[in-house]
Amino acid sequence: MPATYPDLRDRTVIVTGGASGIGAAIVAAFAAQGARVGFLDFDIEAGAALADRLAGEDATVRFEPVDLRDIPALRAAIASVREAFGPVGTLVNNAARDDRHPTEDVEPDYFDERIATNFRHHFFASQAVLPDMIGLGGGAIISLSSIVPLAGIGGMPVYSASKSAVVGLVRSLARDYGQHNIRVNAIAPGWIMTERQKTLWLTPEADATRAERQCLARRLVPEDIARPAVFLASEDASAITGQTVVIDGGWV
C-alpha cells in the first residue's frame, strides 16, 4: 500500500515523458495523492490513453502533446499546465531515450539530438518552473539520471554523458535555489522493467546477468521509482536536496 502525503494534495505537478514507462507510473502515483498532474510527451496515443484512464479514476490530469526537443513548445506546454492548474510546485524531469550508439558511429547531428532528448529539456523545464516555486515559498525538482554512468556501462556514451550532466545540474540548482526552499534531487534507476526494456533488451542472458548483479533477486518495476519520487517531492523529504538517490536493487 503506497504512503499518503497530505501536503501533495492539490499540488501542481509536471512530469515530462509521462505517457509510458516510469513516467506513467510517476504520473499515476502523484495523481493518487490528489495532486493536479500535467504530463508532457510526444507519444500522443499513449498520453491520451493514460489521461483517459486516470480521469476515469477521478484524478486531475492534463496531457500536453509536445516534443521536448523543441524548447519554445516545452515552455508553452508548461505555461498551459500552469494556466489550468496554478503555479507549479513539483517538476519531474523524466523523459529520455536509451538508444544504443557505438562511439564510432556518432556524427555531430546525432550527438546534439542525444543531448536534446536526454538532457537539454531538464534545464529549460527547471528554468520555466523556478519562478512559480519561488512564489510558492518552495518546491521540488526531481530529475532522472541512471546507474549507466555510475556503473560504467558502455554502448551509449552520449546517453551516459547526459545522465552525468543531470547530476551536475541538480547539484548546481540545489545550491542556487535552496535559499528559496526549493529542493532539487536526482534519481538514478538501475534496470527497471518498462515495456520498452522488456521489448528491446530483456533477453534470458541479460536477465541472468541482472539477477547476478542485483543484491535483490526480483526484477524492478516502474513503481519502484515512482514511490520514492513522490516521497522526494513530499514534506517528509524536506531536508533532502542536492542528492542522487540510487534505486537499483543493489547493482554491483
CB of 246 to ligand NAD, least distance (A): 10
Give yes or no: 159 in active site: yes
Residue nearest to ligand NAD (CB): 21
Q: Which is nearer to ligand NAD, 136 or 194 (CB)?
A: 194
| Closest distance of CB 93 from ligand NAD, Å | 8
Query: What phi, psi does 112 have (nearest 5°)?
Result: -65, -35
The residue (of 94 and 234) whose beta carbon lies closer to ligand NAD is: 94
**Residue 16 CB, nearest approach to ligand NAD (Å):** 7
Residue number, 10 or 99, with CB nearest to ligand NAD = 99
The Cα–Cα gap between 143 and 15 comes to 10
> Binding residues for ligand NAD, per CB under 6 A?
17, 19-23, 41-43, 67-69, 94-98, 117, 144, 146, 189, 191-192, 194, 196-197
Q: Closest CB to ligand NAD among 132 and 224?
A: 224
Nearest CA to 142 out of 181, 176, 170, 101 is that of 170
Active site residues: 159
